[in-house]
A = this chain, B = another copy of it.
Amino acid sequence: MPGNTFGSLFRVTTFGESHGPALGCILDGCPPNIPLEPNDIQQELDRRKPGQSAIVTQRKEKDAVQILSGVFEGKTTGSPITLLIPNEDQKPKDYDHLEHAFRPSHADYTWQVKYGRRDHRGGGRASARETAARVAAGAIAKKLLSSQNIHIQAFVSQVGHLSLTQAYHQLDLSSTESNEVRCPDPILAAQMIDLIKTVRKEGDTVGGIVAAVIKGCPPGLGEPVFDKLHADLGKAMLSINAAKGFEYGSGFEGVAMRGSQHNDRFLPGNLPIQTQTNHDGGIQGGISNGMDIYFRVAFKPVATLLRPQESVDAQGNRVIVPGKGRHDPCVVPRAVPIVEAMAALVLADHWLRLRTLG
């Protein structure tokens, strides 16, 4: 079973390679009669697109989206929505040196083994450029969710060793987009930007963490027993290029707590029921409980370096991968809209799944 489709009822299939003519997606299962303009999608793509600031890759792509189907007179019809994003700044020649070399910690070797060949130009389909299609589909999911007053906000919480110390509710998340690194603490943001610039000057890269908060999610989303809401969120996040870990609510830190500390006490009083604390991260037994959902995603340092690296070719011979190619010194600023998009796809899918209960 091929792996280019995500979701069960709100279902996106992405296609396209980094240096092919275009990439895009089909979104099937979107309910009819949702207002949708190209700009709803474009503004999310603009948050992800390359070249948007000094700390991201300088590949020039407008990432201008076209709607090919499924929208009629400004509204969705219930038919598959096809989104097309032509590639413009392809420089496939830039990748000739990679035809016979496997970049370290990239997908070059594994794709070669799996498929017997690969499109070596910029990673082909394994390129993070594929996530543009996810952001485009996620923009439609966001439209659906915002009509239900469900809102998702992601932000950078760590770059290298520089980490937010505040809990998310102590931060002004509305300021996230006011700096290039998308960290809601402006002082830490400035330090993060400096770190990324320093790392890039060294021809190196650095990892980071993206956190996300979902507000307004009603109770009931998530399916026992395998399709728990956090399990689907986890899969969604881990499917993003360079992701290495996922935790929600108290996460890995929660393991050192006692149950008597960790349990979230239900508060007597008005319905809907609230909890005093929220270590469960808004999800109990895999189903949303109406509190804020929050989670964190770890991203490794980007594998492409501006330094020569030792490697091998398909025969196991030693080769040098030269330090060139356009890439991000740190993935997390551009990962913010991707994390939001994937979260939106998960929630839209589970929102439709809940509907089947009547």
Contacts and interface: CB of A to CB of B under 8 A. Distances in A.
A20 interface: yes
A104 to B, nearest CB: 4
B117 A225 contact: no
13 contacts: A5-B28, A17-B69, A24-B82, A33-B115, A105-B259, A107-B286, A115-B357, A206-B259, A209-B255, A227-B239, A247-B247, A255-B301, A259-B303
A255 to B, nearest CB: 4
Interface string A292-327: 000000111111110101111001111000000000
Interface in A68-91: 68-70, 72, 75, 77-82, 84
Interface stretch (A50-58, A172-180, A185-193, A265-273): A265-273
Given A104-B265, A225-B3, A226-B3, A255 B207 contact: yes
Given A109-B289, A311-B265, A353-B1, A298 B255 contact: yes
A248 to B, nearest CB: 6
A102 interface: yes
Most B Cβ at <10 Å: residue of A14, A261, A304:
A14
Contacts of A9: 1-2, 356
Contacts of A244: 247-252, 254-255, 281
Contacts of A230: 238
A273 to B, nearest CB: 6
A232 interface: yes
Nearest to A312: B266
Contacts of A222: 110
A325 to B, nearest CB: 13
Given A13-B80, A226-B5, A299-B255, A264 B105 contact: yes
A257 interface: yes
Interface string A328-358: 0000000000000000000000001111111
A285 B242 CA distance: 8
A122 interface: no
A145 interface: no
A125 interface: yes
Contact of A300 (B32, B250, B309): B250
A223 interface: yes
A130 B259 contact: no
Contacts of A238: 228, 230-231, 234-235, 246
A165 interface: no
B273 A109 contact: yes
A110 B29 contact: no
A6 interface: yes
A4 interface: yes
Nearest to A6: B226
B111 A285 contact: yes
A206 B255 CA distance: 7
Given A288-B110, A355-B358, A248 B245 contact: yes
Contacts of A117: 32-33, 72, 75, 77
A39 interface: no
A160 interface: yes
